[in-house]
Amino acid sequence: MNIDKKYKKIIEIVKIKLSCSAHNLDHVFRVYNLCLLLAKYENNVDLEILIPSALLHDIARVEESQNETGEIDHAVLGSEMAEDILRGLEYDEEKIKKIKHCIIAHRFRTGNMPNTIEAKILFDSDKLDVIGASGIARTFMLAGQFGQRLSADEPLTDYLKANTVENGRLKEVSKHTPFIEYELKFKKIPDKLYTKKAKEIGKKRLKFMEEYFNKLKLEIEGIE
């Protein structure tokens, strides 16, 4: 099976698997496009590792979203699911190993740091998609899906004690809010990126996001 047919098969599988509104095929393709963009600014990037990694990175998102215990990590489970998919598409074992690393290392909380340029590009691309205009849109898609409020009544420190488990995972997604996500996660993203180009993009996107949330806060408080 040639490489283009393999990619088409992967896309078909991912399209069927993903039903979470903020992590659907649109997100996958945004990350894919960002990966190709960042790859242009780096040396010796293996696209035959990067492309399937980008397409498969959220393959286990539905399993995580539907699990109420908070024990399923889609990056860990996704790397295992990807292994079966890739082996079925006749990828060699060395490529499977490298793609699995990209997938398991694309998330902050797994404890698996990206140690290849392909893994670093996927990590950066996935994080860039949660900030800026696209990040705002995704945040509110999730907020609507899980019935979240715009803002929370309790202080942030009280919220963290009551609604997070080990490694910062949420107990109840419905008690989360876009503002909390912005304070806890989005603000920190540009400093955690690996590639120079991603850092440049991240700073621009975060500035836009900061302006938006500041304006939203004023409107919620009735201040113009």
In the chain, where the domains are located: 3-220
Instruction: Please give the structure tokens belonging to residue 220.
Output: 């919620």
**In this structure, which amino acid lies at residue 1?**
M
Q: What is the pLDDT along the chain (224 residues), one digit of tens a residue?
A: 678 889 999 999 898 888 665 567 889 999 999 999 999 999 999 999 999 999 999 888 766 666 666 677 787 878 898 999 999 999 999 999 999 999 999 987 667 899 999 999 999 999 999 999 999 998 888 787 777 777 766 555 554 544 444 444 555 555 667 887 888 889 999 999 999 999 999 999 999 999 998 898 888 888 87
Q: Residue 170 carries which DSSP code?
A: B
In DSSP terms, 164 is beta-bridged to 170
Q: Which of 37, 85, 83, 77 is nearest to 58 (CA)?
A: 77
Neighbours of 141 (CB within 10 A): 16
Q: What is the pLDDT of residue 167?
A: 47
Cβ contact 44:36 at 8 Å: no
Burial of 73 from C-beta contacts in 10 A (0-12 / 13-18 / 19+): buried
d(CA 118, CA 35): 9
d(CA 169, CA 163): 8
Cβ contact 186:136 at 8 Å: no
- At 127 the three-state DSSP class reads helix
If one looks up domain 3-220 in CATH, what number appears?
Answer: 1.10.3210.50
Instruction: Please give the structure tokens belonging to residue 198.
Output: 């991603």
Q: Which of 121, 124, 134, 108 is nearest to 208 (CA)?
A: 134
Q: What is the pLDDT of residue 104?
A: 93
Q: State the virtual CA torsion across 107, 108, 113, 116 in degrees, nearest 10.
A: 50
In DSSP terms, 170 is beta-bridged to 164
